[in-house]
Amino acid sequence: MENVLKEIIQSPQFVQDDAWKQLDFKSNEMIVKQGELANSLFFIQEGVLRVTGHVELGEQKVIQPGFCDLDAGSVFGEACLYEESQRMATIIAVTDGSVIEIDGKRLDVFLDAHPILGYHFYKQIFEVFASRLNKANQRVERLMAWGLKVHEIDKYL
């Protein structure tokens, strides 16, 4: 994914500050907030970011667990790429670093004009989705097994 995105942002037709911008961040800084409306994709140039969620454990008890860490070369925000939708998670900086934020509408126009690059981009985005879905399924299976054991339901199966 890194090589394709670098080729896109280095193109003279994909202009910085119009189609994309670089953002520097400090440790503990929030990059995106779960629930906010957006229409962009992020590429991590350097640093480590943590993907967190919002879990309500009771009336007044809320935690924000970390689901995973992302490092340089990773992308996030792809679910909001082509139409404005809500961010699915909060992203918080673990270290100092920088990201490139890519405007979804500008990227759409660019990839229509560059179909071979668009094919490579979408192929790699699909691979990112598939990998993340596989990891999420594995986590759900482990949580379910843990819950069955904790509540001793496994002995009735």
Reported as a pLDDT band with limits 50, 70 and 90, residue 156 is confident
Mean pLDDT of all residues belonging to the chain: 92
- Helices (H), strands (E): how many in the chain? 3, 12
What domains appear along the chain, each with residue ranges and CATH number?
Answer: 2-115 (2.60.120.10)
124: left (phi over 0), alpha (psi -120 to 50) or beta: alpha
Tens digits of per-residue pLDDT, 104-154? 999 999 999 999 999 999 999 999 989 989 988 998 899 888 888 888 887
29 vs 96: CA distance, rounded Å: 9
Q: Give this prediction's pTM.
A: 0.84
Question: Between the CA atoms of 52, 55, 61 and 63, what dihedral angle is there, to the nearest 10 degrees?
Answer: -20
Closest CA to 42 of 128, 117, 113, 109: 128
Q: Is the pLDDT of residue 18 over 90?
A: yes
Amino acid at 51: V
- For 84, which DSSP code? -
* 1: nearest Cα among 115, 111, 124, 102: 124
